[in-house]
Structure 1
């Protein structure tokens, strides 16, 4: 049904209808608006279902329904109020009834930019907490001290700052810091969900910098917090410690690709430096091996997607040696391994470029070269060779082809 018909039916039933959340925020930011989410007040669940019998309930602890509006499946929630009763995001008593007002619903939300409603059909903005002004000023500000009741709001505030390039107010940073103890006990999947979305920012380093400034990076992403203060040789890394280097590489890769797997590998490429013995600094010998252990621990704490893990493990293992190979056989093996990793070859190069600068020709043209090498098959080996002899023959043929291709590419 069209939105006008949807709203008219609810209004006839005595309800008020509002668009809330990201759609309103993005319209005020002058950005492309997300899908609409609706909140209704002044109507009970039974009366709503009588009006929209095909609506599908998806909310468990409180009613949220899916209704097709203007050809899209939209979420329709009932205005609710919340009362903190225990730790974490499950520790809430939720009340919803026709008597709950939109003003009460907006009060429970995280930041002012997300606490603005647009009433339909009039189009009247309800902005009780100054969200519109905060958007104009480019700042993330908590609605109230209720912010601390759901600790993951600390990550959401940092994510909003990263996504929109906003500043976080000092009062909100205090609230974020107050989430520290509960954040340490939050389920890994909730923290990962914020990580995935934050990595989509134009400058994702901002997310981690705000968490560090709020004093919660070490309880949310200890692998990254451990990099702070880990000095590096000044000649190679004038940008500073391993954390600063990682943030620089992350943003450089983000400027080249929107692939969140690639951005995660940039984030993870040097995590082994967080476990470098103090006596070894500023050098980090063996950090590739330690990095794989850190990645495994990260995955145990917060289950990572398999393709993220595999891509990150390859980058951790190979990012130091990949641009420095001189033996043709090792180059062949590297290129053939790289094209099997669940990561675009261009993204692999983006991480290496951000970390090392200029790259050798065998990497610059690596994807094309690997495709040519794969055309050479062991099936073409001379008859009568044993398995080991076929492997040696195949490598020799590919090495010869690699050298020919590099001569062509570097003329």
Structure 2
């Protein structure tokens, strides 16, 4: 069998541990990913047996930058070059309270590897590799489950951390595994209420960013009862759609297809890809409360506003990142706009494109709308190119707003140079000037200055310092 090729720096450290009378193994995801012939992540986990924590700490401190954030759990983080390693001692854990901090932990340096591995979540994560003796340790037949593509829990300790249910969700999508029946039954008994949002969010991010078919993870989430905690997503199942427009079926099936389509157009830039994937997941949340059968068709009037609200409701269950939530809400609210603009393109003005760019990134919106379009068309036999998106991007490029909002020609400093002192009236005037610019009546800074001068009394045009008088204020309100 092929052996993992470890970084030389790590192999040397493991040799030093052996020289101190200890033994160390590469464990966890790195071993699993190697056996799956997948790229091994830069972060690696090493479990150390036979030496005390202070001795391990002294050895690692000489090698590089050492962090002790997990020391109470017998874990030390070592940063070397561009990699980070977690060195841990085998330990026993007792559940004594709620949450992932509600454990009593005792390190046991003389514990045998099978006993240490029994506290892990799935058999596929219990395989260890000894690089000094070139052998794998597989006490729970994890390699067999890898070959059979099965996620199977190890023992009763699995239920002590409900996060493992979410790990099953994202693993099933990333590796295209099925969950063992006994593990499914156990997962259905666990509640997610005690889990902090940041831990839940990390599993959703792995599902959405690391999976080629995130739909598989969502289907697993339904099977395991996870979606009970997320009613906005759970209630998508069974919501009907017009079969002429949506041959794929109900809103749930459509959402799964849109997610998989979005996964194919990710850019590799995690921040943008996360917005896209979460927006794809949320894009039709507004359909549940708005879908009605009207004039022999299923319709969802005002779903954009309902979706805006329900997107916030769902996302606040998994994260406190307000800027991210806001960006996704805006994408969801306008996700139908590219097709609407394209349908009306003969009568669309530049100002319509500019105002859209003020609300949302047009490039990001087109990516979401493209995924939505593919979710509708992918089983209808029609091509998956997206004419509406191509047209909108062309229009946005012409106006230089495909990646950024339009910028006002007129700034506050220009008004001050014209003799107007700072105050609320400047803000009103700037807003009005920008509206006129968006409408195409102002095309340069010079034209903006002339427009302002045309709205002000003669004495303010000469550069004379002073506040706007009542007459000027009234002109700003009534003459624009």
* Change in 2 beyond 3 A, CA 1:324/1:178: same
Structure 2 length normalisation: TM-score?
0.74
The answer as to whether partners of 1:262 and 1:351 remain within 8 angstroms in 2 is: no
* Post-superposition CA distance 1:54-94 (Å, at most 9, x none): 44312053121123567633111111122233333233222
For 1:161, the equivalent position in structure 2 comes to: 172
The answer as to whether partners of 1:80 and 1:97 remain within 8 angstroms in 2 is: yes
- Report the alpha carbon displacement of residue 301 of structure 1 after superposing the two structures with TM: 2.7
Select the residue among 352, 357, 366 that pairs with 1:331.
352
Select the residue among 290, 306, 328 that pairs with 1:312.
328
- The structure with the largest alpha-carbon Rg is 2
| Residue pairs, 1:207-246, within 5 angstroms | 207-219=217-229, 221-246=230-255
* Change in 2 beyond 3 A, CA 1:263/1:155: same
* Change in 2 beyond 3 A, CA 1:312/1:69: closer
The answer as to whether partners of 1:173 and 1:214 remain within 8 angstroms in 2 is: yes
Instruction: Tell me how many residue pairs correspond in the alignment.
Output: 391
| Residue pairs, 1:342-353, within 5 angstroms | 344=364, 347-353=367-373
- Report the alpha carbon displacement of residue 390 of structure 1 after superposing the two structures with TM: 6.6
For 2:40, the equivalent position in structure 1 comes to: 33
- Report the alpha carbon displacement of residue 113 of structure 1 after superposing the two structures with TM: 0.9
Unaligned 5+ segments in structure 2 are 1-7, 268-272, 378-385, 411-417, 419-428, 444-480
For 1:406, the equivalent position in structure 2 comes to: none
The whole-number CA distance in structure 1 between the counterparts of 2:332 and 2:46 is: 44
Q: Match of 1:118, SS?
A: strand
For 2:282, the equivalent position in structure 1 comes to: 268
The whole-number CA distance in structure 2 between the counterparts of 1:185 and 1:279 is: 40
The answer as to whether partners of 2:49 and 2:109 remain within 8 angstroms in 1 is: yes
Q: Match of 1:396, SS?
A: coil
The answer as to whether partners of 2:358 and 2:406 remain within 8 angstroms in 1 is: no
For 2:300, the equivalent position in structure 1 comes to: 284
The whole-number CA distance in structure 1 between the counterparts of 2:372 and 2:285 is: 15
- Report the alpha carbon displacement of residue 21 of structure 1 after superposing the two structures with TM: 0.7
- Report the alpha carbon displacement of residue 298 of structure 1 after superposing the two structures with TM: 2.3
* Change in 2 beyond 3 A, CA 1:51/1:255: closer
The answer as to whether partners of 1:376 and 1:398 remain within 8 angstroms in 2 is: no
Q: Match of 1:125, SS?
A: strand
The answer as to whether partners of 1:24 and 1:116 remain within 8 angstroms in 2 is: yes
- Report the alpha carbon displacement of residue 320 of structure 1 after superposing the two structures with TM: 2.4
- Report the alpha carbon displacement of residue 356 of structure 1 after superposing the two structures with TM: 6.2
* Change in 2 beyond 3 A, CA 1:145/1:377: closer
The answer as to whether partners of 1:231 and 1:242 remain within 8 angstroms in 2 is: yes
For 2:387, the equivalent position in structure 1 comes to: 359
Between 1:87-96 and 1:19-28, the stretch displaced more is 87-96
- Report the alpha carbon displacement of residue 148 of structure 1 after superposing the two structures with TM: 1.5
For 1:66, the equivalent position in structure 2 comes to: 77
Compute the RMSD of aligned alpha carbons.
3.0
Select the residue among 114, 129, 144 that pairs with 2:155.
144
- Report the alpha carbon displacement of residue 398 of structure 1 after superposing the two structures with TM: 9.0
The whole-number CA distance in structure 2 between the counterparts of 1:188 and 1:50 is: 35
For 1:79, the equivalent position in structure 2 comes to: 90
- Report the alpha carbon displacement of residue 230 of structure 1 after superposing the two structures with TM: 1.2
- Report the alpha carbon displacement of residue 354 of structure 1 after superposing the two structures with TM: 3.0
The answer as to whether partners of 1:3 and 1:69 remain within 8 angstroms in 2 is: no
Q: Match of 1:328, SS?
A: coil
Unaligned 5+ segments in structure 1 are 400-411
* Change in 2 beyond 3 A, CA 1:3/1:188: closer
Q: Which runs of 4+ in 1 moved over 6 A?
A: 277-281, 372-377
Select the residue among 88, 103, 115 that pairs with 2:99.
88
Structure 1 length normalisation: TM-score?
0.85
* Post-superposition CA distance 1:308-354 (Å, at most 9, x none): 3233212221122331132423632355236647x746534533533
For 1:196, the equivalent position in structure 2 comes to: 205
For 1:116, the equivalent position in structure 2 comes to: 127
The whole-number CA distance in structure 1 between the counterparts of 2:407 and 2:318 is: 41
The answer as to whether partners of 1:41 and 1:99 remain within 8 angstroms in 2 is: yes
* Change in 2 beyond 3 A, CA 1:50/1:252: closer
The whole-number CA distance in structure 1 between the counterparts of 2:24 and 2:263 is: 39
The answer as to whether partners of 1:269 and 1:316 remain within 8 angstroms in 2 is: yes
The answer as to whether partners of 2:239 and 2:291 remain within 8 angstroms in 1 is: no
